[in-house]
Amino acid sequence: MKRPLYVAGAGAVTSAGLNARQTIAAIRASLSAFEERTLPEPFGAVQVVARIPTHYQLRRTQGQWLVNMAARAIGEAMQTRSNASTTTAILLTPPESFRNHPAHGDIAPADFLAAVIMATGQKFHAASRAVDGGAAASIGLLERALELMEQEGVEQVLLGGVDSLVNDTDFARLGRAGRLKGTDNAQGLVPGEAAAFVRLTQNPEGKARVHAAIHGVGLAQEQDSVLSERYSQGRALLGALRDAVNGSGPSEPDIDFVISNGNGERYSGWEQLIARPRFYRTRREILPTAYPAMTIGDIGSAAGALALMLAADSLLKDYAPGPTVVCELASENGLRAAAVMARMTRR
């Protein structure tokens, strides 16, 4: 990245909390938002999920449910704004198109962003876009966010995603592949749902002395994705990590901890086991790693912004293991991304 981006605010709706503060507190406390749900197919089967508790009227359709979640998280992220919504651009990652998510049957992918903006009741910059690609794609949009602020008159960017794996379509798809966590599969994922957004600015806001700045981003495509018949050798994750530190910002020896959207699957664990020793070459007694999925399950496209939100909060509130963090994100379709963030202190 040519210059740092600053995380100035955040908003979230997850199974662990209806706002960012509650969600982060639950993750810090290592709480679990898991519960058992009885499935209609196969009839009577029980699946562990991380489901947001809410009134049934908000879930009349999957499309409206995702729109409601996204609008709520955007509203929270904008609460501390110093800029008008018309000078704010939204960069949104909805559920990946290959999944045939039931929300796409309610609201066409091309109309999804417009539906979210309408639900907020505000007008946003015309450069706002929805981008396919999952959690890693969200991190990959950081470069685009900087371009919008430098070249297109945007004063701030809301970067985030919304997704729900708690639906019959994803249950069936993941079940056929043997990827769901259950009594016969300890190394499986727990379907979750969430919306998460971070508010990005070019310069630090307010008079606070400490700020969270994103210094580098890396993006790469893994050929052996979880959808293929082969295990990943970690090549794309390694490439994304190396690109993220290939600049004037923090380098590999500076990294103090990791935030990952690893979801407990055997595939995910194998990839990290291979890629990390090839990147983290500096001797460390321990490399602290946070896995939000242990609290809120696999939240798909929302995981990128949530990782940035958690990283920024830990740096700003001084409970992080150190001043520099890398966020590692993997999408189902093979996209891999990394973002390096550091605590910056004003003199």
Q: What is the mean pLDDT of each run of 10 residues along the chain (347 residues)?
A: 94 97 98 91 86 86 96 93 84 96 94 97 96 96 96 96 96 94 92 98 89 97 94 96 93 97 95 96 95 98 98 97 98 97 88
pLDDT of residue 81: 67
* Contact criterion met (CB below 8 Å) for 238 and 201: no
CA 209 vs. chain centroid, Å, equals 27
Q: What H or E segment, with its residue span, contains residue 258?
A: strand 257-260
d(CA 33, CA 51): 8
* CB neighbours of residue 48 within 10 Å: 18
Ordered strands of the 156-164 beta sheet: 129-130, 88-93, 156-164, 193-201, 5-14, 210-221, 335-345, 324-330, 257-260, 289-290
Structure token digits, residue 59: 């879930």
**Amino acid at the residue 85:** S
Q: What H or E segment, with its residue span, contains residue 314?
A: helix 303-316
d(CA 273, CA 280): 11
**What sign has the CA pseudo-torsion 181, 186, 189, 191?**
positive
**What sign has the CA pseudo-torsion 64, 140, 202, 327?**
positive
Delineate the domains of the chain, giving CATH numbers in brackets: 5-201 (3.40.47.10), 211-345 (3.40.47.10)
Q: Is 59 helix (H, G, I), strand (E, B) or coil?
A: helix
Give the Å distances, CA to CA, from 55 to 33, 65, 175.
17, 11, 27
Structure token digits, residue 161: 């995603």
* Strand-strand pairing, 193-201 and 156-164: antiparallel
* Contact criterion met (CB below 8 Å) for 293 and 323: no
pLDDT of residue 300: 97
Structure token digits, residue 203: 């310069």
Helices (H), 85-189: 102-106, 109-120, 135-140, 142-151, 168-176
* Contact criterion met (CB below 8 Å) for 112 and 94: yes
Q: Is 336 helix (H, G, I), strand (E, B) or coil?
A: strand
**What's the pTM value of the predicted model, to 2 decimals?**
0.96
Query: Residue 42: is the preceding peptide bond cis (ω within 30°)?
Result: yes
The 10 Å CB-count burial string (b at 16+, else e) for 78-90 is beebeeebeebbb
Give the Å distances, CA to CA, from 176 to 19, 170, 179, 267.
34, 10, 8, 16
Q: Is 41 helix (H, G, I), strand (E, B) or coil?
A: coil
d(CA 145, CA 164): 25
Give the Å distances, CA to CA, from 281 to 242, 254, 255, 264.
12, 11, 11, 24
* CB neighbours of residue 246 within 10 Å: 11
